[in-house]
Amino acid sequence: MAKPTLQPSRGLMLWRGLTRRCPRCGGGKLFKGWFRMVPDCPHCALHFEREPGYWVGAVAINTMVIGMLFAIVLVAVSAATIPDIPWVSLLMAEIPLMAIGPAVFYPFSKTLWVAIDRAFLAHL
Ligand SMILES: [Zn+2]
């Protein structure tokens, strides 16, 4: 468990966060199951939750990403089918997206938040 001495680039940290890996070392296996994140990286011992309330950033990212996905589907389907927008079919697609999407994106939002925090905010 040697600590890496070099700080990875911001782009690399964000990529690692998007792929559910540790932004500092790139190590995986940060989750037990889909929802439970380990408190420290098993590879470089980075402690993820820096302070109480830390994960509010991950909740914000999750909300923004799923909200943008909702808007993109809404605008794309509306633009493609106007003036006969299939509202029922659109709702049949959007409701499951809004119900299941946050759970599917949950682990990604956590590692992405850690990456954003490490890349842009950790020095503050
Ligand atoms: Zn690590």
Q: Which of 15, 29, 103, 89 shows the shortest CA–CA distance to 59? A: 103
What's the gap in Å between 103 CA and the centre of ligand 1?
Answer: 24
What's the gap in Å between 97 CA and the centre of ligand 1?
Answer: 31
Q: Which residues pair with 32 in a beta bridge?
A: 36
What's the gap in Å between 93 CA and the centre of ligand 1?
Answer: 37
Q: What is the pTM of this model?
A: 0.87
Quote the pLDDT of residue 3. Answer: 52
- What does pLDDT average to over the chain? 93
Asked if pLDDT for residue 22 goes beyond 80, the answer is yes
Segment 84-99, tens digit of pLDDT? 999 999 999 999 999 9
Strand positions, DSSP E, the chain: 31-32, 36-37
What's the gap in Å between 110 CA and the centre of ligand 1?
Answer: 14
